[in-house]
Chain A
Amino acid sequence: MRRSVLFVVFMVFVMGLVWSQSGYSANTIKVGIVDTYSGPATTYTQDALDGFKLATEQINAKGGILGKKLEYTTRDEKFKPDIGLAMAKELVLKEKVDILAGTINSGTALAVSDFAKKEKMPFFVFYSKSEKIIGEKGHKYVFNMNENTEMAGRAAAVALSKKPYVKYWIAGDDYEYGHAIADATWNNLKKMKAGVQLLGQSWWKVGEADFTPYITQILAAKPDFIIVATGGSGMVNFQKAAKATGLVQKIPFYQHTANELGTLLPQGKDAPEGVWGTSNYFFYYPETPANKAFVDDFRKAFNRYPKASALVGFMTAQFIAEGYKKAGKIDNEAFIKAIEGMSLDSPVGPLAIRACDHQLELPTYWGVTKKDPKYDFLISGDIQVIAPKDYMPTCQDVLKLRK
């Protein structure tokens, strides 16, 4: 009897471990995409892939790259770095891809990046947020196509430093991303604004279902502002709890990507108004012909509005195409040289890949959630553009991390 209890306990923990995660013709340029296409991350990865797909179709319709067609093949790494690495190896050795791309999982991104470095093969990171990708573990062959936690935190700190709040509280998902976002925001805010104080912190487990006990505790502590470092489904869960408890009317709070479509769309009109957030792309802002064309094409192809990750996939394919065109040949070293410092028109205006650290220089949009009669979900209001030069770490800062 006792043994069977122990056995069940053992099996439950084993399962916890298991779960803690969830050749073509030579006349093509082939991109191997490793990403998470099962589990909750799909909401972001599918848009990155579809953005890439849309750009690929447009590039091929215009005659391809140096007379070759752009092609891609995908692998589902199920949010597991070891599987992701094995798949990247298989793509390179068996499928003979020319370039690697993908992954929302920072662990996979770092593993594949290390492999790409050994293979001397360019690797474009889609949607992993770890600062290490171009920082500590950065190298010549890796490119980061979205913001990382340090960038998001600095952008938020820039905006928050202009606000009158003094007493802060930090709350978040207890995993690397949550802590990284919170640390980046808080450490930069402390530098930018003297006198801010941290009243306390709350950390809950990833996938926490009910935030009410945490929120009532924070309300009792009466901070001026809360930095909420949630990711994935925690974004929506926290907003729902903030609405149900009335937190949003009592204490303002910030979440990175709070005002992004991925967080607001699933909640429909029930999302709370007045939540501060940062995002790198909105389909409704800026209202330029370029953005409108991208949104129209995306909607025509996939029948939905593009999220921030769609821009990442879309631009990655374009940089690949233009990089090879500029290099004039299919050669990795020439390609990297061509793409360093390259600037391309994008739906959000010209975007450049910084030569020193291979980071895409994205603008960040600070804003607050609000209802809009045009849509049956909330959008970002009071949009304030934070330009790359105002919030990106300097080349010197990043390269210092690599030593």
Chain B
Amino acid sequence: MDVTGVLNQVFVGLSRTVILFIVSSGLSLILGVLRIPNVAHGSLYMIGAFMAFTLSKLFGGGDMGFWMALIGAPLAVALISLVAERGIFQYLYEREHLMLILLTFAFSLVFGDLVKIVWGGEYKSVPVPYMFQGFIPLIGGLPFPLYNLFLLVCGPIIAILLWLLVNKTKIGKIARAAAVDMEMVGAVGINVSWVFASVFVIGCLLAGLGGVLVAPTVSVTLGMDHTLIIEAFLIVIMGGLGNIWGALLGALIFGLSQSLGILIWPQFGIIFPYLAVVIVLIFRPTGLLKATW
């Protein structure tokens, strides 16, 4: 195992981290502000990927199709989540966590069947846009796909946008205040209900965005939500419930422990991220960063 091999795996692991971060930051945002452990978050990721398939096909499947999907699919997911929030979730914020888990779990089953009705059971594939096809040689000549490079650019942009949203905008400030004391925020005359709706929609939009970004690298299929939601929850738990930077840290640990684990022991590379979760939770049972719960 040499230095170039390690560096390669780090780069590859980082591009995996981007998707995990985008999806789990949305999950964490909703957990932190709305206190909803949204199990259906993975379904929205899956719907994002299927939407990307449809939109990309609609616009000719090339570069244009990809960019339209990148904009359109998250918005479509946001719209679905807005309907769900206004229709159902807004009445349930005060309920027990168990009830919310059951409810969102039910939603994940409903969304799964809806996807099957709309798109059918076949595997779908979203082509990699022409401009990102192929690969560049990294250090030591090992190939690094251009699309993964694109993901590496997307990650920091989204992290910065999220930071700006949470820290610099009015809605971000209100949301943070509401997370600490919802009643007080309502008492000073702010319409908490709509703040919550906005946060929910933004969180779900991130799930949809993750779905679009992952779509060109995998087959879009029923069941892609299940693996992801478990990983996203583990990341959020590891980072600290409700803390967006915790999600970033968790995603980094998860993605890197996987890619570096493969280097150490390819046959059992699968266990390293989960091992990392166990170790983190033994030493920091409430997560690495401060949880908002």
Chain A residues packing against B (C-beta within 8 Å): 1-2, 4-9, 11-12, 15-16, 19, 22, 37-43, 46, 171, 174, 200-210, 212-214, 216-220, 232-233, 235-237, 240-241, 244-247, 250, 262, 265-268, 270
A266 x B230 contact (CB < 8 A): no
Task: Give every chain B residue within 8 A of A5 (Cβ-Cβ).
Answer: 237, 241, 285-287, 291, 293
Chain A residue with the shortest CB-CB distance to B16: A210
Instruction: Give how many B residues have a beta carbon under 8 Å from the other chain's beta carbons.
Output: 70
B105 x A15 contact (CB < 8 A): yes
Binds A, one of B65-73, B116-124, B165-173, B179-187: B116-124
Cβ-defined partner of A270 (8 Å) among B16, B128, B222, B258: B128
A213 x B258 contact (CB < 8 A): yes
CA of A7 to CA of B124 in the docked complex: distance in angstroms? 36
Binds A, one of B79-87, B153-161, B197-205, B261-269: B261-269
A245 x B9 contact (CB < 8 A): no
A241 x B217 contact (CB < 8 A): yes
A210 x B143 contact (CB < 8 A): no
Query: Counting CB contacts under 8 A, is B245 at the interface?
Result: no
B124 x A266 contact (CB < 8 A): yes
21 A-B contact pairs sorted by A residue (CB < 8 Å): A1-B286, A5-B286, A19-B226, A22-B222, A40-B123, A46-B121, A202-B267, A206-B227, A207-B224, A216-B144, A218-B266, A233-B123, A233-B223, A237-B217, A237-B219, A244-B128, A244-B217, A246-B134, A250-B143, A266-B124, A266-B219
B145 x A12 contact (CB < 8 A): no
A254 to chain B, nearest CB (A): 18
B135 x A245 contact (CB < 8 A): yes
Task: Give every chain B residue within 8 A of A241 (Cβ-Cβ).
Answer: 145, 217
A303 to chain B, nearest CB (A): 12
> Interface residues of A: mostly helix, strand, loop or mixed?
helix
Chain A residue with the shortest CB-CB distance to B31: A8
CA of A212 to CA of B261 in the docked complex: distance in angstroms? 13
Task: Give every chain A residue within 8 A of B285 (Cβ-Cβ).
Answer: 2, 5-6
Query: Counting CB contacts under 8 A, is B125 at the interface?
Result: yes
Query: Counting CB contacts under 8 A, is B58 at the interface?
Result: no
B219 x A15 contact (CB < 8 A): no
Task: Give every chain A residue within 8 A of B221 (Cβ-Cβ).
Answer: 40, 232-233
Task: Give every chain A residue within 8 A of B140 (Cβ-Cβ).
Answer: 220
CA of A208 to CA of B75 in the docked complex: distance in angstroms? 26
Q: With A2-B285, A216-B142, A233-B224 as given contacts, are A204 and B270 in contact (CB-CB < 8 Å)? A: yes
B230 x A16 contact (CB < 8 A): yes
Query: Counting CB contacts under 8 A, is B127 at the interface?
Result: yes
